[in-house]
Amino acid sequence: MIGTLMDLLFACRHKHLTRPITPVRKRGLSGAAYVACLDCGKQLSYDTENMKVGKPVPARLHAGECRPFEAQY
């Protein structure tokens, strides 16, 4: 209860966002689009058809990490 009230008063408003990012996977399949807040780093879902920001999504990578290269044969 108190934590929720504190989040409402002092939480990031996500005003500074990146452009929509859509991860590309193998064989032309793509993942769900998201945007990232430049102030707090939180990733938010993004609806590309209606161009609206949605709810927070779990972080895909930690800051400074990258995925290992996968060779395609």
Residue 7 included in any domain: no
Task: Return the number of other C-beta atoms located less than 10 Å from residue 53's C-beta.
Answer: 15
pTM: 0.62
Q: Is residue 39 part of a domain?
A: yes
Residue 29 placed within a domain: yes
pLDDT of residue 52: 92
Q: Domain residues for 41? A: 13-56
73 in a structural domain:
no
| Model pLDDT, residue 6 | 63
pLDDT (0 to 100) of residue 57: 84
State the Cα–Cα distance between residues 2 and 11, nearest whole angstrom. Answer: 13
pLDDT for position 63: 47
Mean pLDDT per 10-residue segment, the chain (73 residues): 66 87 72 87 90 82 52 52
